Structure 1
């Protein structure tokens, strides 16, 4: 029964994440051919994941199922490696090498920098929280 509950909570998170990704894709539809929507969801996902894992989980003592729902479910469906790969191939196929290079750099380097910033922010928030609690006691 526990595994079914875990499956269900991830399923709910994935439904929300996939729906958010679709809505953002609609918002970022442009005629330039550059996949702004995919870039946005992947960069914001790279930023939010460490915040969820390192700050919110610790601060609110979230249950494992809640963390799985938010990370594997919501963010797993929200971010998309398969769409990134398809967009990359589409830019390659159209010989748009400048846009392809920019997209690869923005996604890979940008994702890495967003993850670093998310980890930094999580650590900073946790430290401030710890110092505030220590000061109050």
Structure 2
């Protein structure tokens, strides 16, 4: 099991590093971390509530994708380090924006991910029901 987590964490951390290179800013705003954490907040509930049920994923696959890939792709430690850096450098506006978007936006995207999963599951169910009536 640890080997699968290791492989997932390797993939997630590489994706996270690539994203930090793509979304590097000159003004000190941690855009790469913000995008990683928000996209993870959207994808994790969808993974758990739709993909796991729809494709009968094993607990090993779900753990590898959620804890391994998404756990290393999203990063609370970098979020706190970035927040502290904005605080130390007196970038109060960036600090406020970063905290607000990360916390409120992450929560909102998690709700959206759950809604997305429920909508997809309902649509799949409705398609299967229509197919049986024909």
Give the TM interval when normalised to the shorter protein: over 0.9
Counterpart among 64, 77, 92 of residue 69 in structure 1 = 64
Does residue 117 of the first structure (1) align with residue 103 of the second (2)?
no
2:126 counterpart residue number: 131
- Where does the alignment leave 5 or more consecutive residues of structure 2 unmatched? none
Cα deviations across residues 54-85 of structure 1 (Å, max 9, x unaligned)?
Answer: 00000000000000000000000000000000
CA distance in 1, matches of 2:5, 2:120: 27
Superposition CA RMSD, Å: 0.5
Cα deviations across residues 42-63 of structure 1 (Å, max 9, x unaligned)?
Answer: 0000000011000000000000
CA distance in 1, matches of 2:125, 2:2: 34
The runs of at least 4 consecutive aligned structure 1 residues that moved more than 3 Å come to none
Local SS of the residue matching 1:24:
helix
Counterpart among 5, 8, 19 of residue 10 in structure 1 = 5
Does residue 92 of the first structure (1) align with residue 87 of the second (2)?
yes
The number of residue pairs the alignment matches comes to 132
